[in-house]
Structure 1
């Protein structure tokens, strides 16, 4: 029979993942609408407010996890993130001043958004395997699928400010689950430690190798961001069909990503991380290449199977890869999170350059395919062990782990 602490952990971790996923799914898609509806922000003001808010999140994703690494404690900073989320929702609910709202988003919102990264850092620190991390990421993806429609329903039925009340309720639940995890941390740590040997970091990477992998994942995230951003225009102007097909395509891809992540978690027990990442990149190349020549909605929807596998690999295995390459769990999770933020910035030039080709919007997908090929080559080359490593630095005759990078 399972130890009560183990059973509690099995409930607390998925609950925390779902709640942190809902926090982002409630706030981020609705933020621009809230700025206009509650603070009368102009389109230009919305643009720079989102820019400084995301910049705050970028900095916080590096500083807060680094602090947690130094303290060797990820749960207390995660608890603080929940409290900051509650404070932010209260501030936005009572404020009528745009400058005050901006200060709140920078000071409270940026650090509050680090909670999800800290959860994955805690998983790694407590000895969780790649399968656990990927399965937990699947729960976050489910929240992202269900969250935006639920937020839209709440705002439509109860008014715009009601989403802030919902966000505050999620924050209270986040604080509660994190407090429960803290209270059980010592017992849970004892239970988890025997399994910690199942995950080895493999051979150490040089700083150049780690930087190369970061570059590759920025490229992969950029292709996904670019493809999502122009889907509506591609469907209406490229294919000449109703914009609803863009929503269907994105919805199908997001829905398929969840079972894909659970399948990836099982496959991680049998195949190496490099092999899974290679499969994801190949699927991404095939998806983007297919999108460059797609001519009807049926093919568009069918191709989303490849897209779901591609991004499931990037989101799930990519996170575990960073956690193995970088010995500090907080920094690893925070750095991985920021590859998506930087990728969103890089997607702008991809869209601008790709759309100027003779293929038009299809040219953007062709550019994404080429960039995915480059990212795959970089990851494969960066994953090779250093020949100059002294033998004494290698582990003493370990059995190969299921998800070793090399």
Structure 2
């Protein structure tokens, strides 16, 4: 009896460590991402084209590195060790940005560290999926709770990021993010399970999966890129846009991100529980419609209270897609959780590439308002692809288990 209780307690500790690590790494990311465009513009004196180029190069490097790490982890790598390495790279990345203001150094050395850092979260989600499958727990619900940790981090992170950057400077802000990675590294080292996979099983199943020949995977991939491009253009441009139209409210971008993230948390949890009843497709289509409403509002209004109210739709849009999208990819690629999680993450990276190019070019030549028109078009395109996705019958059964 005592052994069973100890094993049960150990399982709860491991599950808790996933949640805490995801939250802390989320905080580290939420400290850096919201102010990156302002950091590059003010501290590094980068022009709009250089800012767009930086986002694009950073995304390309992240795609390549995270996909290679995903293949390695699915075949024979221990995910725990990979995540530890990614956290070390995160510390290096934060230190580089804290003490350097040279564009060429940041776009080379900084992005080298950032590329490995970006693989941490998909590896955590893959490891969590692997562990919950192994222990027979509810995969969808735990994934929703895990995704909610990121949203909770984004409730705290953006306002804190702007506060640290404005009051204490970017060096303090980046060193704070480095401290978060260090804490996460210690938690992962002490509590994460070191799960080994047999190489023969991976080699047997991998050739059967033709990712880019899977019609549903490709439709979901295109839809996710379209949604992500709209969201990333908004994330990159919004601090600059609000600084132009509402210069008297320098902390407003952080508050908008925080409100949206606060909506995302219940949206993620509720969506994960509604999957068996409504299905992935219906929930994601509902989320995209919320996104369409949000960008229409961004186009037609510049009032502060309306921008805050619109975050309800933005939070539903991002929260549901973030919660359900990852599970959707994992279920469409059974046995390859690392690749599936990374594919979902790489949708975001591909979105950053497109968003960086579009935002830099559009804002420099036509002004910030065009960004939100383009975002509306992107979200509308994603709705079309979501509608034509068909769900394999066996995936639905898996979700209900």
Q: Paired residue for 2:187?
A: 177
Q: What does residue range 5-404 of structure 1 map to in structure 2 within 5 Å?
A: 5-30=10-35, 41-44=44-47, 47=51, 48-71=53-76, 73-90=78-95, 102-126=107-131, 127=133, 129-155=139-165, 160-182=170-192, 184-185=193-194, 206-231=213-238, 247=253, 248-294=255-301, 296-327=303-334, 328-347=336-355, 349=358, 365=372, 367-385=374-392, 400-402=397-399
Between the aligned partners of 1:205 and 1:176, the Cα distance in structure 2 is: 38
TM-score (norm 1): 0.76
- Listed one character per residue, the Cα deviations across residues 74-95 of structure 1 (whole Å, up to 9, x for unaligned) are 2211111122223444556677
Gaps of 5+ in 1: 190-203, 386-393
Between the aligned partners of 1:149 and 1:132, the Cα distance in structure 2 is: 27
Q: Cα distance, 1:145 vs. partner?
A: 2.7
For the 8 Å contact 1:81–1:114, the answer to whether it is kept is yes
Q: Cα distance, 1:401 vs. partner?
A: 4.4
Q: Paired residue for 1:199?
A: none
Describe the SS at the equivalent of 1:382: coil
Describe the SS at the equivalent of 1:333: helix
Q: Which has the higher helix share?
A: 2
Between the aligned partners of 2:96 and 2:298, the Cα distance in structure 1 is: 44
Q: Cα distance, 1:208 vs. partner?
A: 3.3
Between the aligned partners of 2:232 and 2:106, the Cα distance in structure 1 is: 27
The answer to which structure, 1 or 2, has the higher relative contact order (CA under 8 A, 6+ apart) is 2
Which range moved further: 44-53 or 306-315?
44-53
Q: 1:155 to 1:262 in 2, by over 3 A?
A: same
Length, aligned pairs only: 373
Q: Cα distance, 1:116 vs. partner?
A: 0.9
For the 8 Å contact 2:148–2:268, the answer to whether it is kept is yes
For the 8 Å contact 1:293–1:362, the answer to whether it is kept is no
For the 8 Å contact 1:323–1:332, the answer to whether it is kept is yes
For the 8 Å contact 2:268–2:323, the answer to whether it is kept is yes
Q: Cα distance, 1:344 vs. partner?
A: 3.1
Which range moved further: 16-25 or 224-233?
224-233
Between the aligned partners of 1:234 and 1:92, the Cα distance in structure 2 is: 24
Q: Cα distance, 1:8 vs. partner?
A: 0.5
Describe the SS at the equivalent of 2:278: coil
Q: Cα distance, 1:334 vs. partner?
A: 1.5
Q: CA RMSD in A?
A: 4.0
Between the aligned partners of 2:100 and 2:268, the Cα distance in structure 1 is: 40
Q: 1:379 to 1:102 in 2, by over 3 A?
A: closer
Q: 1:6 to 1:313 in 2, by over 3 A?
A: same
TM-score (norm 2): 0.76
